[in-house]
Amino acid sequence: MSAVDAIGAMDAIETTPPADAIALDDGRRHWTFGQLEDETRALALRLGADGTRVLATLLDNSPAWIVADRAAMRAGVVHVPLPVFFTPEQIGHALAAAGVDTVLTAAPVAARWPQAPAGPCEVAGMPLVLMRLPARSPAMPAGTAKITFTSGTTGAPKGVCLDDAAMRAVAEGLVEAMEPLAIRRHLCALPFAVLLENIAGVMAPLRRGATCVALPLAELGLAGSSNFDAARFQAVVEAQQPHSLILLPQMLRLWTAYLAHHGLRAAASLRLVAVGGAAVGRPLLEAARAVGIPAHEGYGLSEGASVQTLNLPGADRPGSAGRALPHARLRVGAEGEIEVAGSLFLGYLGGCADPASAPDGWWPTGDLGHIDIDGFLHIDGRRKNLLITAFGRNVSPEWVETALRGQDAIAQAVVFGDGEPALSAVLWPVRSDAPDTVLQAAVDRANATLPDYARIHHWVRGQADFSVATGLATANGRPQRIAILQSHAAALGVAAAAGPSALSSPDPLS
């Protein structure tokens, strides 16, 4: 698609809010929709003049990131959003695999590539650098507009190729479904390079004419990908008074605990706090709502261009992942695997696993679940994580982990037991100084809700932080199961995994 064609296509699908309405807010300055349009066109022209084909952004959350995302679409340029918490090796892999020829970043980051030509480029008032890399011709499906990289279960991220139509369908589906909530102000709480925030937290609100509050992640209390300061986050929410947020379960858990401990309530302005990336569980949702957080669980995957289902006020079933959004179709296959259609990706970078090869255009998610009589989706776990105990019982570890995390004392839990007579777990407490008796009582309460074959018989504390930095978590807070098992096998008294196996973790919702 040429730059002219891309501009025309985008103009045709965008709603047209008043030019003087506020589109972006970085806590210091506002940009109207008219100013956002001007910034977008200016950068799109710059990218076209430079001959950019594949643009990578390596930026913190900011209005500049949003402008770059929209400008790439305008210019018909493939956008590759890269998380700032990726390791240098992961960044290098993504740049090479996607054939990136231009990187938009801050000058200190560009200094990592001293041999690359770079020029100044101010975007939305932020002084940045456009860095040129040697041109490549990567293998990607025709029509690719964005490549989102998951953090995966190993060091090499996997590129999911999306076109404008799939992303637009999700954004429009969200706008339609959430119209009764009259969302006018969204606080972006996840990195923009995470597809969930990119589409549900930026594309959808802007299409609705709402304001996106785009603050640097550190101001929100986020450090790296996994460290979260709930006190700082609460202060920002109070100051910004948003109508909506998107959180990961661990963020919701820590924020809920902070509010409950200090006798506080969430801002009354909140109308929806969507939670995705991993199972949430009814106890956490109930605890969050008790302190004023209108938390609602959803479900999605990068291969479906992000969110597929969502619980909403008035159409909510705690413990489920919600009903299908207007753009999505779901079914459950003969073996209990959830399949989706309606907003599928084009394929993986490198040309493998083309979804066109899926039967009838349905994509197998790798997740096990069921749809109840009222259309609510229930996630039972990952097919490849299924544990088979020594007594032949099939157990989804996610089921047991959700029960454990539903206890106030437990922040994170990872369950093992494949080929073992009983299940065991690695636990990370909410408070590091919590005594073993408190954790054991929490395990006992969780066990009381589970059948005998799914109960935890032995547990140990996590020997290192549950984070990306330690290699024990993905960017979306899901466990790196092999790494956790290898580092805790002796303490658990089980065999360590030698490499990728049925214990490997799924790629996170991006």
Note the pTM of the prediction, 2 decimals: 0.81
Determine phi and psi for 237, rounding to 5 degrees.
Answer: -60, -40
For residue 486, the surrounding DSSP H or E stretch is helix 481-492
Number of other residues whose CB lies within 10 A of the CB of residue 365: 23
- pLDDT, residue 151, reads 55
- pLDDT, residue 476, reads 67
Rounded distance, CA 476 to CA 470, Å? Answer: 14
- pLDDT, residue 204, reads 97
Contact call for residues 456 and 404 (beta carbons, < 8 A): yes
Rounded distance, CA 149 to CA 90, Å? Answer: 10
Rounded distance, CA 189 to CA 474, Å? Answer: 17
- pLDDT, residue 15, reads 60
Q: Are strands 54-58 and 78-81 parallel, antiparallel or unpaired?
A: parallel
Q: Which residue ranges in the chain fall short of pLDDT 50?
A: 1-13, 152-155, 498-510
- pLDDT, residue 505, reads 30
Domains and CATH numbers, the chain: 3-9+33-150 (3.40.50.980), 165-382 (3.40.50.12780), 386-492 (3.30.300.30)
pLDDT tens-digit readout, 267-283:
999 999 999 877 788 88
Please name every residue paired with 211 in a beta bridge, in sequence order, or none if there are none. Answer: 185
